[in-house]
């Protein structure tokens, strides 16, 4: 959770103030795997007072990992690392506020799930399903060839509302994509982009 804490700190400091201007929010966590990123996003938004008006779509193509994600249960030996990352994200609370530990496992607060929809979605074959203010798809595009990267980025661009935000992984870039012209760099170091508004 909170992998690359500086990314989440950048969201907190630079993106959240703009998200506050929306009466309701939709966030897409694409390629959510076992759910760590989705729960990280939910916790950050709760800390910033935005979760109550947010719906997070967490999608993946693997039904097994989606089931794990929905359960919100992680091995207790991962929690120390999660806690360090959470603190590094500029957190205003303790990560322990969000889970219960027992029998070698940490079970995350079910109230977080009330704002997360875990769903099957393929970036290779499926289409856009909602308009969102933020897409977070990190460390997924590196596994795609150029054509598939362009398709996924096209979906993100189509899904984002005007001036919406896209976050990608630290080893990923839009620079060589056919979709690059649709985005402006917003927090360059953290690979956060903003959908370019057409004049």
Residues 28-46 pLDDT 10s: 999 999 999 999 999 999 9
Average pLDDT score over residue span 89-96? 95
Residue 198 has pLDDT above 80, yes or no: no
- CA–CA dist 178, 73 (Å, integer): 39
Nearest 10 degrees: CA dihedral of 108, 112, 118, 124?
-100
DSSP labels, 95-143: GGGGEEEETTEEEE-HHHHTTEEEEE--TTT------EEEEEE-SSGGG
Strand blocks (E) in the chain = 25-30, 54-60, 73-75, 99-102, 105-108, 116-120, 132-137, 160-168, 183-187, 192-195
Residue 148 has pLDDT above 80, yes or no: yes
Question: How does pLDDT run across 14-26, given as a tens digit for each residue?
Answer: 999 999 999 999 9
Residue-level pLDDT at 199: 52
Residue 4 has pLDDT above 60, yes or no: yes
Nearest to 59 by CA among 2, 137, 147: 137
- What does the buried/exposed string (b/e) look like for 27-56 if buried means 16 or more CB atoms within 10 Å of the residue's CB? bbbbbbbbbbbbbbbbbbbbbbebbeebbb
Angle formed at CA 22 by CA 43 and CA 182, multiple of 5 degrees: 95
Q: Please, which pLDDT band fits residue 136 given cuts at 50, 70 and 90?
A: very high
Predicted TM-score (pTM) of this structure = 0.96
State what percent of residues in the chain have pLDDT above 90. Answer: 96
């Amino acid at each position: 959770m909170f992998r690359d804490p500086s990314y989440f700190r950048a969201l907190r400091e630079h993106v959240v103030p703009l998200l506050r201007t929306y009466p309701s929010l939709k966030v897409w966590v694409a390629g959510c795997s076992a759910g760590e990123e989705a729960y990280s996003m939910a916790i950050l938004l709760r800390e910033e007072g935005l979760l109550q008006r947010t719906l997070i779509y967490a999608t993946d193509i693997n039904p097994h990992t989606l089931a794990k994600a929905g359960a919100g249960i992680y091995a207790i030996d991962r929690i120390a690392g999660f806690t360090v990352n959470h603190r590094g994200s500029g957190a205003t609370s303790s990560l322990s506020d969000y889970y219960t530990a027992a029998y070698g496992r940490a079970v995350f607060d079910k109230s977080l799930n009330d704002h997360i929809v875990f769903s099957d979605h393929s970036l290779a074959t499926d289409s856009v399903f909602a308009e969102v203010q933020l897409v977070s798809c990190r460390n997924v595009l590196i596994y795609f060839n150029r054509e598939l990267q362009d398709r996924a980025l096209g979906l993100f661009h189509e899904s984002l509302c005007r001036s919406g935000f896209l976050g990608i992984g630290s080893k990923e870039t839009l620079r060589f994509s056919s979709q690059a012209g649709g985005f402006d760099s917003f927090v360059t170091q953290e690979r956060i982009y903003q959908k370019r508004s057409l004049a």
